[in-house]
């Protein structure tokens, strides 16, 4: 089926006409706009900051190694850290051993998360070399049995996130989605690229549609290159998916969830985030990191996202260098004072329509 051209999509009509409640098993989501996992970024502080804006249906943690979870490594404890208001929450696990994946899911059920997500999409070599991530798409029989084992081990919803296939010669996602539905998976997220593509090229919307058409009941969640309301409308109309998972687009615009939800409910997305709102969100994010991790580690963690904020705020090299080397809350407050000067706001407003670029991994995927 031909994919509609973006200019032919009426975002308001599409988003309102396709609206319907989304369930993952017994879990009713408050919206169908979800925060996709991004390694190193979608930690507790960022999730809480986005939830405070509103419109978020479900957040998923960074991917967690099932074996490391059972061993309770320090890094794993950081990745799954949560709190009562951080709901609904899915923890994404990866691995290739059924016993470890089953035990990890059972541990998470006792921990109190809302859902368990199985990663079948990560293309990074350190994940795929052990048979996890997108490598699971290379052995259908083994993978389907592993997923069945996890589903039968817990009462909470189990979902799967995968790519279209390993490469263009093996677009196996429709087959997997159909089989997963039969073994009781509550929903499937599809990133519209193959493992061989990495993050290059355009998302294959027709490929996502093929997955949506392969299942009878469970929701298919579209993922990839959704950075705006128009992108979301295009994903919905071209693929027939039930919901959307937003990753890098959320880093550039954390208001996208609330804008989409408002558009769905009222027909009006509301105004784009102002310069002041963006600066305030950055401040809130840093303070939540410090509250969660302490000043030293909070500032160190913020350095990872500083460039994302600078892509949007465009404060100049001097401020960017201070943020990527941030040492203390006091220094951060000094930067905020600079950012809140009237000339900084005027400069930003003059270029507010400029679309910032989104960095993705480069080079051979095998080296990631």
What residues act catalytically? Answer: 122
Q: According to the model, what pLDDT value does residue 361 have?
A: 67
Q: What is the pLDDT of residues 135-144, one digit of tens each?
A: 999 999 999 9
Q: What distance in Å separates the CA atoms of residue 222 and residue 224, rounded to the nearest whole number?
A: 7
Q: What is the pLDDT of residues 82-126, one digit of tens each?
A: 999 999 999 999 999 999 999 999 999 999 999 999 999 999 988
Helix ranges restricted to H, 56-97: 66-71, 74-79
Q: What is the pLDDT of residues 323-356, one digit of tens each?
A: 999 999 999 999 999 999 999 999 999 887 777 8
Rg (CA), the chain: 20
Place of tokens 């991530």: 133
**β-pairing, 33-35 with 27-28?**
unpaired
Indicate the pTM of the whole model: 0.93
Rounded to the nearest 10 degrees, the angle between the axes of helix 256-266 and helix 229-239 is 60
Task: Give the pLDDT band (50/70/90) at residue 316.
Answer: very high
Place of tokens 């490391």: 68
Task: Give the pLDDT band (50/70/90) at residue 366.
Answer: low
CA 130, 134, 135, 140 torsion-angle sign: positive
Q: What distance in Å separates the CA atoms of residue 112 and residue 103, rounded to the nearest whole number?
A: 14
Give percent helix, percent strand, percent coil of the chain, each to the nearest 5: 50, 10, 35
Which residues are CB-contacts of 334 (< 8 A; sequence separation ≥ 6)? none
């Amino acid at each position: 089926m031909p994919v509609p051209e973006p200019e032919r999509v009426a975002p308001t009509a599409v988003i309102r006409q396709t609206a319907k409640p989304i369930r993952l098993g017994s879990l009713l989501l408050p919206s169908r706009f979800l925060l996709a996992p991004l390694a190193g970024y979608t930690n507790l502080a960022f999730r809480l900051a986005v939830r405070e804006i509103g419109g978020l249906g479900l957040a998923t943690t960074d991917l967690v190694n099932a074996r490391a979870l059972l061993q309770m490594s320090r890094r794993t404890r950081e990745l799954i850290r949560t709190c009562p208001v951080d709901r609904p929450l899915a923890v994404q696990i990866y691995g290739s051993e059924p016993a470890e994946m089953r035990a990890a899911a059972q541990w998470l059920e006792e921990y109190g998360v809302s859902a368990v997500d199985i990663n079948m999409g990560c293309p990074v070599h350190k994940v795929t070399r052990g048979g996890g991530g997108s490598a699971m798409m290379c052995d259908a029989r083994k993978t389907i049995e592993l997923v069945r084992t996890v589903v039968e081990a817990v009462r909470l919803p189990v979902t799967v996130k995968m790519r279209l296939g390993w490469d263009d010669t093996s677009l196996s996602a429709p087959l997997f989605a159909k089989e997963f539905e039969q073994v009781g998976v509550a929903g499937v997220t599809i990133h519209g690229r193959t493992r061989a593509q990495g993050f290059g090229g355009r998302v294959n919307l027709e490929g996502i549609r093929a997955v949506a058409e392969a299942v009878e009941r469970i929701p298919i969640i579209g993922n990839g290159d959704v950075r705006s309301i128009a992108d979301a409308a295009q994903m919905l109309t071209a693929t027939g998916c039930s919901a959307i998972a937003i990753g890098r687009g959320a880093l550039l615009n954390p208001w996208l969830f609330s804008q989409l939800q408002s558009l769905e409910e009222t027909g009006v997305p509301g105004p784009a985030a102002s310069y002041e709102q963006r600066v305030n969100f950055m401040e809130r994010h840093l303070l939540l990191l410090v509250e969660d991790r302490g000043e030293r580690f909070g500032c160190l963690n913020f350095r990872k996202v500083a460039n994302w904020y600078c892509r949007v705020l465009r404060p100049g090299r001097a401020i960017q260098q201070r943020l990527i080397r941030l040492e203390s809350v006091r220094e951060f407050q000094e930067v905020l004072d600079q950012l809140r000067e009237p000339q900084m706001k005027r400069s930003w407003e003059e270029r507010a329509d400029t679309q910032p670029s989104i960095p993705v991994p480069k080079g051979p995927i095998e080296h990631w």
